[in-house]
Amino acid sequence: MTSPTTPHDREKVVSKLPAWLRQNLKVRAAQHGIEIQAAVEQGIRAWCDLAATTAAVDTSGADSFSTFLPPGQWEDFRVTCADRRVSLIQGLAQSIQLWLDSNPAPDVTRPEITRRIIVCNQKGGVGKTAITAGLGEALAEDSNTLHSVRVSKALAKALRASEVQDGVEREEDPLDVENLPGPGLQVLLVDFDPQCHLTNQLGASPLPLNGDSLTNHMAGDPKGDLRDLIVSIDDDTFAGRLHLLPACNDAFLLDVRLSAVRAREAALERALAPLEADYDVIIVDCPPSLGLSMDAAAYYGRRRDGEKPGQSGALIVVQAEDSSADAYELLTTQIDDLRNDLQIDIDYLGIAVNLYDSRRGYIATSSLQGWVDIKDPRVVGLIGDLKEQKEAVRVKKPLLSYAPKSQQAIGMRALAREVL
């Protein structure tokens, strides 16, 4: 955030504001990326330059509010309030409301081409489903509400925030966390795994075997509109911006059915393309497979004509242990083969290290360093192995609504902003 003057050029002033106006100011300043003190300064200056006072603001229940202003501005403001025969509290409220009216909330930036994120790893149990859900939830959070986000790009700082000492989670360095507006995007989560973990974790029901499914649409045998299978997730928190396409156990036979389909690599794209106009981001939770279904998922995440590098692609989820490294090699080999065979660009969006716990000692710390050393793709997220995720799964609620201030939630928001 920026400020027109440095802190030592300012003087502290104390007044009062109603809580609702203070909160609106806090959110709007964050949306525009400026300091609250700069917004107040601009509002007071604009209000003093008016020919007359603006409409009165309800200041009932006003409570203490302090900020820093350029030297002399507060005294000039006091004179203007006296001339207009309004109290300092009312003048300040009008000034801030004037700034809010002059600086409306920015529109959510929506991609021209729906972004497609393929969350993958051939190894099971690394937490692809948790990352898929957390990433989608973070992208769908309200743009008019502030959320705790770890903003530091230094992995060492992220590590310190996730460490546990003496069995007690360390309090994070406040410099590592900032309150930021949510992206406010329309997000579709696609459960592409026949085990239905994403569907079950978010409290939805797997699709029945005798009904319609994504598998049927990919195999060219749809029984209806795929849009009719989509369910909304946790409307109270995400206000209808987060949706799920549930899985069906028939996906266990997907590779067999795809073997008889022409241009089978494009089967997932053909199925999901009609939905893209409704969403800003589509995130696919892939099964732990190196079969035809993974080929179809990787192809769906390829870079399309007119799409910038890094807008869509593969997000690889790993753990800080040796078997994840073996699986990583298998997955990247498959993606590289697909790139070469079909002459397409499939971008890596990064590596998310999940379920990290430094208490596991040398294996965990050295493995993490190994992921960091890869550089391309780089590590874009570090999520600790803490209890909140497991609790959210148990009660079948999204992590970011169940424990929005947890370290894992803060890490998911950081991951979302790295991927964006």
What are the tens digits of pLDDT across the range 250-273?
888 898 999 888 999 999 999 999
pLDDT the model gives residue 6:
52
Q: Read off the CATH number of the domain in which 210 is found.
A: 3.40.50.300
78 & 219 share domain: no
Query: What CA–CA distance (Å, rounded) separates 86 from 190?
Result: 57
Instruction: Categorize the per-residue pLDDT at 7 as very low, low, confident or very high, splitting at 50, 70 and 90.
Output: low
Query: What CA–CA distance (Å, rounded) separates 41 from 44?
Result: 5
pTM higher than 0.95? no
Q: What is the tens place of the pLDDT at every residue in 345-381? A: 999 999 999 988 888 888 888 888 899 899 899 999 9
129 & 97 share domain: no
415 & 285 share domain: yes
127 & 33 share domain: no
Q: Quickly tell me which residue has 């000492």 as its tokens.
A: 165
Beta strands (DSSP E) in 83-184 are: 115-120, 146-150, 164-165, 168-169, 177-181
pLDDT top residue among 104 and 367: 104
DSSP-derived 3-state class of residue 190 = strand
- Tell me whether residue 286 is in a domain: yes
Instruction: Categorize the per-residue pLDDT at 171 as very low, low, confident or very high, splitting at 50, 70 and 90.
Output: very low
Q: Is the pLDDT of residue 245 over 80?
A: yes
233 & 320 share domain: yes
pLDDT the model gives residue 165:
40
Paired tokens of 344: 């397409």
> For the ranges 18-22, 115-119, 125-129, 360-364, which has the lowest average pLDDT?
360-364
- Tell me whether residue 347 is in a domain: yes
98 & 120 share domain: no
Q: Is the pLDDT of residue 1 over 60?
A: no
Give the contacts of 225 (CB within 8 A, at least 6 positions apart): none
pLDDT the model gives residue 246:
97
End residue of a domain, out of 48, 74, 102: 102
End residue of a domain, out of 55, 70, 102: 102
Instruction: Categorize the per-residue pLDDT at 112 as very low, low, confident or very high, splitting at 50, 70 and 90.
Output: very high
pLDDT top residue among 186 and 3: 186
Query: What CA–CA distance (Å, rounded) separates 97 from 92?
Result: 9
Characterise 83 by phi-psi region: left (phi > 0), alpha (psi -120 to 50), beta (else). alpha
pLDDT the model gives residue 154:
44
pLDDT the model gives residue 122:
84
DSSP-derived 3-state class of residue 13 = strand
Domain count, the chain: 2
End residue of a domain, out of 102, 133, 165: 102
- Tell me whether residue 400 is in a domain: yes
- Tell me whether residue 2 is in a domain: no
pLDDT the model gives residue 152:
53
229 & 275 share domain: yes
Q: Is the pLDDT of residue 159 over 50?
A: no
- Tell me whether residue 332 is in a domain: yes
Give me the domain span that covers residue 49: 7-102
Question: Do residues 329 and 134 touch, judged by C-beta distance below 8 A?
Answer: no
Chain mean position to CA 196: 22
130 & 95 share domain: no
DSSP 142: -
Average pLDDT over residues 69-82: 96
Query: What CA–CA distance (Å, rounded) separates 207 from 123?
Result: 25
125 & 97 share domain: no
Beta strands (DSSP E) in 7-114 are: 11-17, 63-69
- Tell me whether residue 109 is in a domain: no
Quote the mean pLDDT of the chain.
90
pLDDT the model gives residue 224:
95
Give the contacts of 51 (CB within 8 A, at least 6 positions apart): none
Average pLDDT over residues 274-300: 95
pLDDT the model gives residue 320:
83
pLDDT top residue among 173 and 342: 342
Taking CA 193 as the corner, what is the angle to CA 259 and CA 324, rounded to the nearest 5 degrees?
Answer: 100
Question: Do residues 280 and 185 touch, judged by C-beta distance below 8 A?
Answer: yes
Q: Is the pLDDT of residue 167 over 50?
A: no
Helix (H) or strand (E) holding 6: none
Continuous H helices in 4-63: 19-32, 36-49
217 & 243 share domain: yes
61 & 29 share domain: yes
Q: What is the tens place of the pLDDT at every residue in 321-351? A: 877 788 899 999 999 999 999 999 999 999 9
Say how many Å lie between the first and final Cα of the chain, rounded: 19
216 & 361 share domain: yes
Q: Is the pLDDT of residue 115 over 50?
A: yes
